[in-house]
Every structure is written in C-alpha cells, then in structure tokens.
Structure 1
Amino acid sequence: MLRQTLVVLALVACVLGSRLPVRRLPYTGTSWRFSVSRGRIYGGHDATRGQFPYQVSLQLVVLGMRFHNCGGSIISNSAILTAGHCFDDIGYYFAVAGDHDLSSVEGSEQEIRVSEQIVHPDYPGGVAVAAGDIAVFTLESPLTLNDYVQVITLPSAGSIPAGGSVAVLSGWGETETATTPNILQTVDVSVIDYETCKQNLDDLNMDDNPLTDTMVCTGPLYDGISVCSGDSGGPLAQNGELIGVVSWGVDPCGYPGAPSVYTRVSAHLDFINQNI
C-alpha cells in the first residue's frame, strides 16, 4: 500500500511539474532563465466577456483533479490548435470554450472532451524547446458556434507577420504578482522580425539558440510584457487571423531584452489542414 501511494504521489508530481523544463543559460548570478512557457500573461489586463470567442481553456484531468493546463484556439467546430508540448498521455483533456471567468459559471461555456491529440511529426516530444511545437486536438463532439464561441481565421501559407506590427495575446495565467487570475487576460504586443529576435536571444549568451524561421517573436522587450508559464498553446492574433501559438519564453517572465516566442501558424498549414 505504501509503495502504491508513493507511485501515485510521484505521478501527480510528474504531471503537475512536467510543463516547466528549464533550458539552461550560462549562470549570471541572477537566475537560470530559459523554459517552455506554461504560465500566464505578464503586463496584461482583464479581457471583456466575449472579446476572444476563439480562445479555449484546455483543462487536464489527472487522478480526479482538474486544472487549466494550456490555452488553445478554435480552428473548426471540432478542432483546437495548441502547442505540441501540451500533449499529455497520463490524463485526459476537456476543451472549455466560451469561458471568461474560470471560477464561475456564466452560461456561455461549452465543455467537450478531447478525443485525440495530434502533435506535429517534427516535434521531438515532451516539453522540448524546438520547432514543430504545434498540435491539433480533436473533440468528441462539435462545438455550437455563437457570439461567445467562434472559429478564428488561419493566415495565408508562408505569410510572415511584419516586424513592428501590433498583435494581441490572450490567456489565463500567472501575472507579475505570481497569481493566476480566473479572468481571461490580454495585452497588445509588437511583432519582432526574425533577425532582430535572433540577435536579442544571442545577446542573452545562450549556448544554443533554438530560434528557427518557423517561429515568430514579440515584445516589447523592456516593458515587462511577455508570455509566462500556462499561456502555452494560446493564440497570438493579428487582424482577425491566428498568426502564432504560444511556445516558449525566458524565465523569469518579462526579463529585460527577452522576446516571447510562438510557433508560426503560416508555416504549418499543411499539417493543420490534414488534421482538422
């Protein structure tokens, strides 16, 4: 019995802690600061109810416990786009659409179990900081589209978000005070072009810069605005199109000079269309 209890406790610890791998930077005397993003928006504010009808909360159920684990975007009435590192084979997911306040029932929520988690074949698995960090989660039954639940448009194949342009990020998650607000958060961010993003990451003295041209970066770099652990898989949108899926960032969140990094949706349309 004792051994079984220890196994269960280890399993819980593995599940709850599995989304915070640290990719080591040279130690600077302040912190190790590179990790897959599993958190919340730094520098954001409350969204209004119905402002992001394409946003979903992917809620993981493990050993009877249920918690918000990742964000996602509705790309058809039966498919959610999220990050590859959100894949989980220990528990099971519910996709909750039409939600705004996770702590209360507002009447607009639709909750459907995820039937299949399809990860991009190029993604190495686990919680690797790597290209191909994208997945399609299919649902057991279709969502009913309405004012609070809507499909977001996908971008044109190969399109590159312009550096300096404005995009919008949304998600539930940890803020500057290390709290996890129940109200959906949002913030406007600025797109950073690939070369500038690569240079900023190089300036952080990483031994192995994982940035590829299938990713997209955002700032601002010095205003304490970033993704953080729990935003994973959530949407980066621009002009009504889904241009990015939250993938990884620098730890601590909002670190000066550090961009937020997303999987670029326009680079993966073949995979998405094959699996909707």
Structure 2
Amino acid sequence: MSQAKFVAGIHIPANHPNDPNGKVTSFCTAFILSKTEIITNAHCVYDAPYVYVVAGTKVVSDANQKIKIKVEKENFVYHPYYSHLIFGAFDIAKITLKTPLEFSDTVGSIELVDKNYKLNNPSEVVTAYGYGVLKNIGPSILRRCDANYISDVERANTFKSSQTLYFTTGEATNDGAILTPGDSGGPVVSKTNSKIVGITMGINGTTGGRGAFLPITLFLDFIRDPKSVKPIPPPLTPNEAKFIAEITAPEKFLTAYKEDFADADEDTQLQFDAIIFSKTEILTCAHGVLGAPYVYVTVNKLSRNATKLKVTEDQIEIHEKYSLSGLPFDIAKITFKEPLEFNDNVGSIDLVDKDYKMNDPSEMVTVYSDVVLDGTMRTRRYDTKYLDGAKCKPKLGAVFDANHLMCYTLDESMGAPATFGGPMISKKNNKLVGMTLIRYSGKPIIFQPIAPLLDWIRKPKNHPFRKNILGNDLNVASISHFVRRVICDQTKVFAISQSSTTICE
C-alpha cells in the first residue's frame, strides 16, 4: 500500500442501478486527490443514496476496514454531461469528504498532469491500478498493470470514435487479466512523471482485453471546480419544439453539396431544421433544398407520433437573390398542398415585425438546435446575445456580410448547433427573429435575420414581381459555385457571372 497509497476503494450499496436485483454490494476504484477530494467514475456513484470510501487497504471487499467513510449523495457530484445510458461519455465524479483523511505511509494523494499533457505517444508506458475481481470470483484485491497507448490509427480501426475515450494495451502482470470488474474509476499513472493521466472506465472484451480510460486533461476544470462546468440544457419536450420541423433531403441532388457527395446515392440523406410559421408554410435554409427534386418534412419530430410528409420541388421556393457564392438571402419557403393539423405538439411561431431592430447586443434571444455533446443528438435551446457586426467581421472574414447577416456566440462547453435552419426567438416578444445558417469551429455562428425578408416571406407565390422583364416566370438556377444568377427565356439569356456568360439549355 505504500506504493499505491493514493488508491481508494468505493463500496456501492445494494439497490444501486449497477445491481438491479438489490442484493449485492458492488465495488469500484478511485484515487485520492487531497485529504477531502476523491475522484472516480460517475457510473460508480450514479443514483446511489450513499457510498463508502475506503483507503489504506489492499483488499477493498473486506468487511472490517480501518478507514471507511460514509458519504451521502449530496457530497458527490458527477459531470453534468454524463449519461448512464452512454458508455464512456464524461464518466467522472468527484466525492468530497466532510471528515479529512489522515495521511500516513499507506494513505496519501497524487498529482494530476497539466492541461497541455499529450496522450498520443504509443511508446509511453502507463500504469493502471484497480480493485478488480479476477474471473468474477474472489476478493477485490488491489493490482496494477503496465500498458501502452494505442496509436490513433489503430484506435480508429478498432474502436468507435469518441471525444473522450482513449485506449491502452499491454501485457498483463496479474494472472493473465488486464482489467476486470471493480477496476472502474481507478487511476492511470504515467511512468514518466508519476502523475495521473487518466481514469479507468472499462474493458472491451472483444479486442483482446484492451482497456478504456478517460484522459484527465479533458476534466481538469471539472475536478478543480465542478460548478464551473455549466450543465447542458435539457432536451426539449415535443410541446416546447412544436414549431420546429425537420427536413430530410437526398444529398445526391443538393446543389450546394454536389462536390462533397458526388458519389452519394438517393438513399443518403442530409438532415436539418425548419420553422413552421403557418399551417401551410415553413422556412428553412436555401442551401439545404436547392436542387432537390423532393424532400421530406417531419413535424412533431420529438414525439413518437411524428408525421413525415413528402414535398416536391414545385412546393419549394428559393429566394431569388440567393447565391452559392455567399450566405445572404440563404432562405427557402416550403408550401404544403394540404394544411398541417395543429395540436399540442405541432404549431407555429409568429414572425417579428418589419421594423424590428437587431442591433442591441444586450438583448437576449433563444436559439433552438440539434446538438451532439453527450453522445447522442438532442434538440435543445440556448440563451445568447447578438454580437456587434463590427466584432463579427474580423473573426469571420469575407464570408460574413454585415449588411445582410448577423452573428452570435455560444459557450462551446454547452455544445453548439449541429444542424442549420433552426429558429432564433426573441425573449422580449417571443417572435422569430432569425434562422441559424452556419457555424465554423471556434468562431461566431452566422444567422439570417428575418425582419428584412418579411416582404419575400409573406408575398404569395404568383406575386407580379416574381415575373421577369419578358413576363415569363422567373427561372432561377444555380449552375455552379461561380455563377451567381441565371435568368432564361427561350432564346434570351441574362447571366451575372464572375467568369463568363453561361448558356441555359
């Protein structure tokens, strides 16, 4: 124990979620960060009414322990992004002891690596400690195992990708086992600097007994101050998202993605959001429907009773000023042939007035979007503020047109929009003020203001100024990334191009 005095054990009482039959006390491993701070896996304490922390022992399953401290539920906290349904994601918890441990030759603490520590050197050796049970029988005895990191290439070929998982492999030193039940939550220590580099999470039995652990560098802020990590807003209920629809479009046909998905088949679908503003009309991004002969619109998307409607290209209208070479006017309107049936989970959102001004950085707005952060995609909402256009331009560069677009930022620890076409709603009047267009990693998120486009949104499809100068229907086609707009009428062609005149067939 003098060699592993920083290792602690966790006794989890019966009726814990890991023991659905409620008969057996289970065990986990932990490590001692200070006299009052213990770190372990979240799944070891999740939903437990209390746990016992034991220290200075080689056999954690012994009934009579010299150091055994009961810790009530309110004194341990797991990462706010943790989900017991998803293996590995944010699986870390901190236990705070009201009564400090007494350090001795067999009880002590260990330091953490710095935030800039790199875990990508396959030649570096680490040591995993844990109170694993061999062959699922016998006592939970403290053991250790030396291992190496798996290279990024091998890890990508062997395991599902994850932002929070790294894997180790190595020769077992204890009866042929690397990791066994009870090792969860144990420390992974660098042999180079004798500091904690990770927390053991589990074992993948299908890959030769390779173990999984969380890199500690991702969780230093949480360990130092759990309250500093803001919780993810909870998923929305169907009623709260009743004005949000989902668009599914075949990537094969989408003009904006033809280069990216040149080999895609018709079954490969791109998903994004849309906004219901009447029983027959919804708004979405132009680049997500341009070129599609059809799309599917799903309403009541968060409910088991979701309704999926097929919409053909004659029901899709792209703003005549939209161009693939830029983001302004990136808006489309879809008109249903049959009106939607509104209910508690399907409804509309009002549009702001034309004179609504979006230049007050202090005004709060709510953004709705699908977000992937806890391992699954959820529709959530976030409160944020507008950014001054002068601050957006330097950060976004030429892609940002301050005359037609605006931007906002989000705390990226809470996630960021994973889909476009989602609504932005004013907290002042609860009306639609914008639609998310695109985001670039680490930069403000661009959105399309609604107020300047109200005339276009509200005008009927057969409005006079939808006719070209020859009196025929306007036919707008996006020929390439360089052609801005092509207007065709039998033998006459009007083209605005950066390179050359384009002939329409």
Structure with larger RCO (C-alpha < 8 A, sep 6+):
1
In the comparison of the two structures, how many residue pairs are matched?
214
Show the 5 A alignment for 1:227-242. 227-238=179-190, 239-242=193-196
1:55: which partner in 2?
A: 7
1:262: which partner in 2?
A: 213
8 A Cα contact 1:194 1:213, kept in partner = no
Secondary structure, counterpart of 1:249 in structure 2: strand
Equivalent position to 2:136, from 178, 181, 187: 178
Secondary structure, counterpart of 1:271 in structure 2: helix
Show the 5 A alignment for 1:1-276. 49-62=1-14, 67-102=25-60, 109-115=66-72, 116-124=75-83, 126=84, 128-161=86-119, 162-175=121-134, 177-201=135-159, 209=160, 211-220=161-170, 225-238=177-190, 239-251=193-205, 255-257=206-208, 259-275=210-226
Distance 1:270 1:187 in 2: 28
8 A Cα contact 2:52 2:70, kept in partner = yes
Secondary structure, counterpart of 1:62 in structure 2: coil
Calculate percent identity across the aligned residue pairs. 26
8 A Cα contact 1:250 1:260, kept in partner = yes
Q: Which amino acid aligns with 2:194?
A: G
Displacement, 1:60?
1.7
2:290: which partner in 1?
A: none
Displacement, 1:82?
0.7
- Mean Cα displacement is larger for which, 264-273 or 161-170? 161-170
- Mean Cα displacement is larger for which, 148-157 or 241-250? 241-250
Secondary structure, counterpart of 2:149 in structure 1: strand
Q: Which amino acid aligns with 2:195?
A: E
Counterparts in 2 of 1:256 and 1:250: CA distance versus 1, 3 Å: closer
Displacement, 1:248?
2.7
Q: Which stretches in structure 2 are left out of the alignment for 5+ residues?
A: 16-21, 228-505
Distance 1:111 1:168 in 2: 25
1:205: which partner in 2?
A: none
8 A Cα contact 1:173 1:180, kept in partner = no
8 A Cα contact 1:172 1:180, kept in partner = no
TM-score, with length taken from structure 2? 0.39
8 A Cα contact 1:226 1:260, kept in partner = yes
Q: Which amino acid aligns with 2:58?
A: H
Counterparts in 2 of 1:100 and 1:68: CA distance versus 1, 3 Å: farther
Secondary structure, counterpart of 1:136 in structure 2: strand
Distance 1:90 1:78 in 2: 20
Q: What is the root-mean-square deviation of aligned Cα atoms in Å?
A: 2.8
8 A Cα contact 2:54 2:69, kept in partner = yes
Rg (Cα) greater in structure: 2
Distance 1:92 1:105 in 2: 17
Distance 1:102 1:225 in 2: 18
Distance 1:140 1:62 in 2: 23
Q: Which amino acid aligns with 1:100?
A: K
Q: Which amino acid aligns with 1:214?
A: T
Deviations 1:50-99 (A, max 9, x none): 22101011012337977342110001111111112112324411100111
Secondary structure, counterpart of 2:25 in structure 1: strand
Secondary structure, counterpart of 1:196 in structure 2: helix
Displacement, 1:259?
2.5
Counterparts in 2 of 1:145 and 1:169: CA distance versus 1, 3 Å: same
Distance 1:128 1:271 in 2: 19
Displacement, 1:165?
1.1
Distance 1:87 1:222 in 2: 28
Q: Which stretches in structure 1 are left out of the alignment for 5+ residues?
A: 1-48, 202-208
8 A Cα contact 2:133 2:141, kept in partner = no
Q: Which amino acid aligns with 2:217?
A: S
Secondary structure, counterpart of 2:52 in structure 1: strand
Counterparts in 2 of 1:193 and 1:106: CA distance versus 1, 3 Å: farther
Displacement, 1:181?
3.3
Distance 1:183 1:90 in 2: 23
Q: Which amino acid aligns with 1:246?
A: T
Q: Which amino acid aligns with 2:166?
A: V
TM-score, with length taken from structure 1? 0.68
Deviations 1:115-147 (A, max 9, x none): 4221111212x2521321111111121111121
Displacement, 1:240?
1.5
Counterparts in 2 of 1:70 and 1:199: CA distance versus 1, 3 Å: same
8 A Cα contact 1:62 1:92, kept in partner = no
Q: Which amino acid aligns with 1:111?
A: K
